[in-house]
Chains A and B, each alone.
Chain A
Amino acid sequence: MINSLFLISHSGDIFLEKHWKSVISRSVCDYFLEAKEKAGDPENVAPVLQTPHHYLISIYRGKLFFLSVTQTEVPPLFVIEFLHRVADTFQDYFGDCSEVVIKENTVTVYELLEEMLDNGFPLATESNVLKEMIRPPTILRSVVNTLTGGSNVGGTLPTGQLSNVPWRRAGVKYTNNEAYFDVIEEIDAILDKSGTTVFAEIQGVVEACVKLTGMPDLTLSFMNPRLLDDVSFHPCVRFKRWESERVLSFIPPDGNFRLMSYHVSSQNLVAIPVYVKQNISFLETGSCGRLDITIGPKQTMGKSVENLTVTIPMPKSVLSVNLTATQGTYTFDLTTKVVLWDVGKLNPQKLPNLRGSISIQTGSPKPEENPSINIGLQIQQLAISGLKVSRLDMYGEKYKPFKGVKYVTKAGKFQVRT
């Protein structure tokens, strides 16, 4: 199981280590740092490395490497999932997961790590449970604690730890009882030069914010559950009822949580909300090129497309660009060679266009690669797959909660080839 954890900044500085079994010298990280050096870009460091005596499994989150060391055969996914959970917890506790914040809160970090893993076995990883044992630092609480002599650490056994609903603590009380659900869909797509869809799929999640008193038992049903053939549920969802009735039946955790994620595969037709007319060309002789991009609405189901952005990583030999945008603003980053065009809202009457010339370092040959165009967008009040929640019922408690569902569609990895 997990033996040790090292936190390493993206520049390669090891700034925190924690051992759950015997201590492993930090020199083991040299193997990792070597691989990191080789990979160049920190995102390209392979997540599983083998050294003569240890296995190194790492993730890269928020410009930090979380590197765990194990000595025995262990499921790497288990370790990677756990590391992400650690990063999530830091994010949850400190509002950020960065070197500065972690260094500021080392004692809490140690308390958390000690509580999350015992002898390399996960102990308490649910945010609800952890917060019962170690309270997150807030300015208000530290003031209150000093005045009353109160403690950061819960004195009682976390109720969730052993019950059949480990994700929920007992005795929750609210004056305003409310349950909100956000259906968020991201379109991952690759379009080819001519605009034909090479590949498209939808990654959807149902995020919930449930603040209900007592032990409510909820049932969420959909208008068209047949759409969902590939789903992953929060442990609270009763799988049997989904299998038989296609409804989500669950006792919710308290607060924010991800109820379900789903995947509408490329087998079904995925609506593509915008089209991109583009032409990026470089002259054979080198030294300059042309760029011309127009974006228009395609299948938007009558909704408006907002927060439209276009990102184009240019070849390294590009020196500068001289473009004109009919709408929004564009920037060109000289070091990363990325053109970023912030379009804003898509106006179907007057299509946004970006055009102009590209200049290339003199003497360098015509770029070999074709830059790809990455689109960002948002459509409010629409789940592009067509998924709709029909109703939410509550059992087990008497009061009437406020209910609400919001839909939003975003571009995920939405890429147009040139």
Chain B
Amino acid sequence: METFWPLFFVCLGEIFELKAELNSDKKEKKKEAVKKVIASMTVGKDVSALFPDVVNCMQTDNLELKKLVYLYLMNYAKSQPDMAIMAVNTFVKDCEDPNPLIRALAVRTMGCIRVDKITEYLCEPLRKCLKDEDPYVRKTAAVCVAKLHDINAQLVEDQGFLDTLKDLISDSNPMVVANAVAALSEIAESHPNSNLLDLNPQTINKLLTALNECTEWGQIFILDCLANYTPRDDRESQSICERVTPRLSHANSAVVLSAVKVLMKFMEMLPKDLDYYGTLLKKLAPPLVTLLSAEPELQYVALRNINLIVQRRPEILKHEMKVFFVKYNDPIYVKLEKLDIMIRLASQANIAQVLAELKEYATEVDVDFVRKAVRAIGRCAIKVEQSAERCVSTLLDLIQTKVNYVVQEAIVVIKDIFRKYPNKYESVIATLCENLDSLDEPEARAAMIWIVGEYAERIDNADELLESFLEGFHDESTQVQLQLLTAIVKLFLKKPTETQELVQQVLSLATQDSDNPDLRDRGYIYWRLLSTDPVAAKEVVLAEKPLISEETDLIEPTLLEELICHIGTLASVYHKPPSAFVEGSRGVQHKRLPGSAGSGESVESPDTGSAAGVSDAPPAVIPSQGDLLGDLLNLDLTPPATTGPPPPATSGMQLGAMDLLGGGLDSLLGGDLGGSSAMGAGFGAPPAAPAASFSAPVSGGLDDLFDLGGGVGMPMGAYSPPKTVWLPAMKGKGLEISGTFARRAGVIQMEMTLTNKAMSVMTDFAIQFNRNSFGLAPAGPLQVLTPLSPNQSIEVTLPLNTVGPVMKMDPLNNLQVAVKNNIDVFYFSCQYPISMLFVEDGKMERQVFLATWKDISNDNEAQFQIKDCHLSSDAASNKLQGSNIFTIAKRTVDGQDMLYQSTKLSNGIWVLAELRVQTGNPTFTVCLKCRAPEVSQCVFQSYEAVLKN
């Protein structure tokens, strides 16, 4: 039930009392009773029970009583439709009343009762009233058509009311014309394509005549309607302008602004050399200024519109800068708008004044306003070149105040000034650096980091400064992290010698320790760039940046044109086209300014500000922080929130990066493996420098302590290093993985301990390897069948095979692994002992051994020493055999045992070895010969590991 107020119950006694009074035969008592009923109604009491009694009072010649009953009816008819019918007869009768006021009131009230049964009865009286002899009745009836249309549009069309309404535009009475226009405009809004307001020179003339004589509100409706008309030529345009101009002196600001709209639009058609054109321009300024002395709410709407007008025709208000100076007690929403317009009007002529004002504002109380004022100074510097120096010194003055938010804003805008005027103001960098510690807002930090990176060669301690930011890398916002990454890469490219460590650190932080896809992507891109082609990296990262120009937020010209056509409307306040916010099926026509007269071209620009803006390319805009970095790289970074497989990329560089992440992720998520291996083509040599960060800790002396089971129980078994932590819980969102590799009974196994150190249960584990040197791949899925509860650990053994895709890694035994669970995907890398790959049938025939030994050139021979090994040659031989290194022959020369050994890798590579053991000397010498000498280092490591354990 729709009522005015939340319902209160009225006590029954009160209802009875009112009922009695309503049925009293004394007129005065009746009226007082109805008043009491209305009063109860307005404070939310439910008096609908009195419906029949109140309706009975309707038949009266007392106008006040009638009006009160109507108020009641309008409120309750909807909830009591059956009883509302009782009123119909009186309505119909009243529509015939000799008093025009009663006729109008009846038709007006009927239109407000949104009950179908009443609406049916409305048509006949309405038709009569539309043709009533009294204009007061006609104008009321015109509005009633709009009401009826809102309730039942079809009915209005079927009954032909629209045509009658159109006829009223030619009515002799101006108020009737105005109301007919208003009603038609409202109806037209829900019928965007109907040609309801068919404007032709005759109707325009009628409207212009009515304009002078109707009320202020009527003038608004007529002016808004006129604005939709497109004159045939410049002469018609001028004559309309002439007749509309007097409205600029109206006391009602809405009339003024609607008149401004008509003039701004029709002016487009006037030739610019016409005297009248200049006169008109001059006439527009004073009324706009006057709007600013009205109430603040009116000022706000006026300012939003002036903002548009100034962009389209800056010449109108170019001498009126001072009226936009901010007053101490302006509401904040007025202050901010004024500031915006001040910057739009700033020019070489008035910049001194503007700067003095802005500096004044920077000491105001309101923080938002102060910030915007500081920003405004920066925008002035970019807009008016001659003022840049003064702006910079003003900003430096402000930085000296040490007011925290002022300093931060100043640094943000100085960054833009650097971009606009390169190599001009860098001398202030030292001052900026002094304030490094006080910056706590991401935007300011990012700006400062950008400056340090960009001018690294001029800042002696750039590396120290950047390093200081790096400490809390993970606590920074993405904006700062990205900027820091780029800045350090810039620094590295400029001063490669001292900053290698720093760049490695940031790349590893960005690629391995971060879960932000943007950051990781960019980290990998830099990494790959640096490792494959540092020259190219330099060209990309340190490329010349396009200069920024003009203002940050000029409205795009076509939108501006459309908005100019909507001056005075909500669109002009939001600075959005109506299509962007008008609801649903409502009429949305894109309005365009009419073309200039005289020439065939639609846009011609004899004056500076207007049409020039349309034909020119849109001015460059200072990109936001994120965009800026994108620009620097000239790369289209993949959107951060992509969940599906990444789109096919074309550049090799991206391919590599995608393979590492996308491809792996793909197959993890059940995508096809074939696709990912095909993409691998672009993957080049692994990066040299940063790879260090990938290396897992090599097993050390502590191993013995942990390797109890292996050491005692299976002395002859293959050597397996103790477990090390591969994925710390911090980087795995609570998932810790430690593990090792083993070869048991000819099967390579990855043995892992998964520990849940998070607060929630982990499920859905899966694992995937990146391509590696020996084609290691899981032989089956990761068997974690039960969910892993918090603080629970589970041992998993994953059998591996060596039939996976191959790619040479550095170091050779490096393995990149992705583990997925319900929370995320984690990446880590580990190194496996190459002895895992030594196969059981690695014992070579003696002859073959001899022949092969001779056959392999001495270039492929590598010699290593193993120190502190207290084993006899036999014991060593035994140990090595457990790891599938087979002794083929042994000879002793001068107390030195020479063991000739062979071993075969899973991919068929043979390695031949000569192990020299001198009794009493703990230092062994290993001499390795292999057709693929790259493996020698790894094999030696295995020798060492096996012999020492």
B42: Cβ under 8 A from any A Cβ: yes
Cβ–Cβ contact B286 & A263, under 8 A: yes
- Determine whether the beta carbon of B328 is less than 8 Å from that of A153: no
B484 within 8 A of A: no
Report if B2 contacts A (CB, 8 A).
yes
Instruction: Please measure, in the bound complex, the distance between the C-alpha atom of A348 and the C-alpha atom of B69, giving whole angstroms.
Output: 66
Is B570 a contact partner of A232 (Cβ separation < 8 A)? no
Tell whether B191 is near chain A: CB-to-CB under 8 Å.
Answer: no
Task: Check B64 against A151 for contact (C-beta < 8 Å).
Answer: yes
**CB atoms of B286 and A118 under 8 A apart:** no
Let me know if A230 and B290 touch, CB within 8 A: yes
Is there a chain B Cβ closer than 8 Å to A374's Cβ? Answer: yes
Is A234 within 8 A of B67, CB to CB? no
Q: Assess whether A23 is interfacial by the CB under 8 Å rule.
A: yes
**Binary interface profile of A, 384-418, with partner B (CB < 8 Å = 1, else 0)?**
00000000000000000000000000000101010
Q: Which residues of B contact A76 (CB under 8 A)?
A: 301, 568-570, 573
The answer for the CA separation of A331 and B28 in the assembled complex, in Å, is 55
Contact partner of B42 (CB less than 8 A), chosen from A106, A119, A232, is A106
Residues in B neighbouring A261, C-beta threshold 8 A = 251, 290
Give chain A residues whose Cβ lies under 8 Å from the Cβ of B135. 162
> In this complex, what residue of B is CB-closest to A263?
B290
- Segment of B291-299, B809-817, B857-865, B896-904 in the binding face: B291-299
Contact indicator per residue, chain A 175-188, by CB within 8 Å of chain B (1) or not (0): 00000000000001
Q: Look across to chain B and name the residue whose beta carbon is closest to the beta carbon of A165.
A: B213
**Contact between B63 and A233, CB atoms less than 8 A apart:** no
- Residue of chain B at shortest CB distance from A109: B42
Known contacts: A75-B258, A118-B108. The answer to whether A188 contacts B333 by CB under 8 A is no
Interface size class, chain A: 35 or more
- Expressed in whole angstroms, the Cα–Cα distance for A405 and B700 within the complex equals 106
Does A287 sit at the interface, judged by CB under 8 A?
Answer: no
Contact pick for A114, options B67, B111, B213, CB 8 Å: B67
In the complex, identify which listed stretch (A44-52, A90-98, A217-225, A297-305) lies at the interface while the others stay far away. Answer: A44-52
Of A196-204, A207-215, A321-329, A352-360, the segment with at least 4 beta carbons within 8 Å of chain B is A196-204
Q: Is B537 an interface residue (CB 8 A)?
A: no
Asked if B856 lies at the interface with its beta carbon under 8 angstroms from chain A, I say no
Binds A, one of B14-22, B264-272, B581-589, B720-728: B581-589
In the complex, what residues of B have CB within 8 A of residue A199's CB?
322-323, 325
Contact with A along B110-127 (1 / 0, CB 8 A): 011010000000000000
**Which A290-315 residues have C-beta < 8 A from chain B?**
315
Residues A45-61 near B (CB distance < 8 A): 46-48, 50, 53, 55, 58-60
Of residues A23, A55, A233, which shows the largest number of chain B Cβ atoms within 10 Å of its Cβ?
A23
Interface size on B, residues (CB 8 A): 98
Q: How far is the CA of A267 from the CA of B293 in the complex (A)?
A: 16
Nearest chain B CB to A161 CB, angstrom units: 6
Interface string of A121-138 (1 = CB under 8 A from B): 110011000000000000
- A71 within 8 Å of B by Cβ? yes
A235 cross-chain contacts in B, Cβ below 8 A = 215-216, 250-251
- List residues of chain A with CB within 8 A of the CB of B144: 119
Judge whether A417 and B360 touch: CB under 8 Å: yes
Residues of A close to B309: CB separation below 8 A = none
A118 vs B139: C-alpha distance when bound (angstroms): 11
Partner of B581, one of A50, A119, A198: A50
Question: How long is the Cα–Cα vector from A230 to B135 in the complex, in angstroms?
Answer: 35
Pairwise interchain contact A234-B251, C-beta atoms closer than 8 A: yes
Given contacts A81-B252, A119-B143, A199-B322, contact A166 B215 (CB under 8 A): yes
Question: Is the C-beta of A17 less than 8 angstroms from some C-beta in chain B?
Answer: yes
A118 contact from B140, B319, B327, Cβ within 8 A: B140
CA distance A267 to B322 in the complex (A): 9
**Nearest CB of chain A from residue B130's CB, rounded to whole Å:** 15
Asked if B175 and A110 make an inter-chain contact with CB atoms under 8 angstroms apart, the answer reads no
For chain B residues 1-46, which have a beta carbon within 8 Å of chain A? 2-5, 27-28, 31, 35, 38-39, 42-43
Beta-carbon contact of A164 and B220 below 8 Å: no
Q: How far, in angstroms, from A232 to B38 measured CA to CA in the complex? A: 41
A361 adjacent to chain B (CB < 8 Å):
no
User: Would A80 and B319 be within 8 Å (CB), given that A21-B150, A73-B569 are in contact?
Assistant: no
Known contacts: A121-B217, A199-B325, A233-B251. The answer to whether A48 contacts B301 by CB under 8 A is yes
- CB <8 Å contact, B401 and A74: no
| Cβ-defined contact, B42 with A16, below 8 A | yes
Interface of B is mostly: helix
Is B99 in contact with chain A by the CB < 8 A criterion? yes
Q: How far is the CB of A259 from chain B (nearest CB, A)?
A: 9
Say which residue of B111, B251, B298, B583 sits within 8 Å of A71 (CB atoms): B583
In the complex formed, the residue of B with least CB distance to A54 is B583
Closest to B150 in A: A21
| Residue interface mask B285-319, A partner, CB < 8 A = 1 | 01101100101111011100000000000000001
**What 1/0 flags go to B373-394 for Cβ under 8 Å of A?**
0000000000000000000000
Is A171 an interface residue, CB under 8 A from the partner?
no
Shortest CB–CB separation between residue A5 and chain B, in angstroms?
Answer: 12
Q: Are A121 and B182 neighbours in the complex by a CB distance under 8 Å?
A: yes
Q: Are B254 and A258 in contact (CB under 8 A)?
A: no
Q: How far is the CA of A48 from the CA of B325 in the complex (A)?
A: 22
- With A48-B573, A119-B111, A261-B251 in contact, do A81 and B298 touch (Cβ < 8 Å)? yes
Instruction: Say which residue of B3, B173, B363 sits within 8 Å of A162 (CB atoms).
Output: B173
A265 lies within 8 A of B249 (CB): no
- List of A residues within 8 angstroms of B3 by Cβ: 23
- The reply on B659 being an interface residue by CB < 8 A is no
**Of the 9-residue stretches A275-283, A339-347, A365-373, which lies at the interface with chain B?**
A365-373
Within 8 Å CB of A315, what residues of B? 365
Which residues on A sit within 8 Å (CB–CB) of B2? 22-23
Given the complex, which residues of A lie within 8 Å of B35, measured CB to CB?
A: 107
Does the CB pair B224–A75 fall under 8 Å? Answer: yes
8 A Cβ contacts from B54-77 to A: 62-64, 67-68, 71
- A77 CB within 8 Å of chain B: yes
**Closest CB-CB distance, A359 to chain B, in whole Å?**
19
Flag if A77 contacts B67 (CB, 8 Å): no
* Cβ of B897 to closest chain A Cβ, rounded Å: 83
Shortest Cβ gap from B270 to chain A (Å): 20
Contacts of A43 in B (CB 8 A): 296, 331
User: Is B881 in contact with chain A by the CB < 8 A criterion?
Assistant: no
CB distance from A301 to the nearest CB of B (A): 23
Interface flag for B263 (CB, 8 Å): no
B220 touches A265 (CB 8 A): no
In contact, B42 and A78 (Cβ under 8 angstroms): no
- A230 and B360 form a contact (CB under 8 A): no
Contact A231 B332, beta carbon cutoff 8 Å: no
Could you list 26 examples of A-B contacts with CB < 8 Å? A21-B147, A22-B114, A44-B332, A47-B300, A47-B301, A50-B574, A58-B297, A73-B582, A74-B569, A74-B570, A80-B254, A80-B298, A81-B298, A107-B38, A119-B144, A121-B217, A126-B215, A149-B28, A155-B63, A161-B175, A198-B356, A199-B323, A201-B322, A201-B323, A230-B289, A415-B327
Known: A23-B2, A118-B140, A368-B363. 12 other contacts (CB 8 A): A39-B332, A73-B570, A122-B215, A125-B215, A146-B28, A151-B31, A151-B64, A157-B99, A162-B173, A230-B289, A232-B250, A415-B327
9 closest A-B pairs by CB:
A230-B286, A153-B64, A47-B297, A77-B254, A122-B217, A78-B254, A239-B246, A23-B2, A199-B322
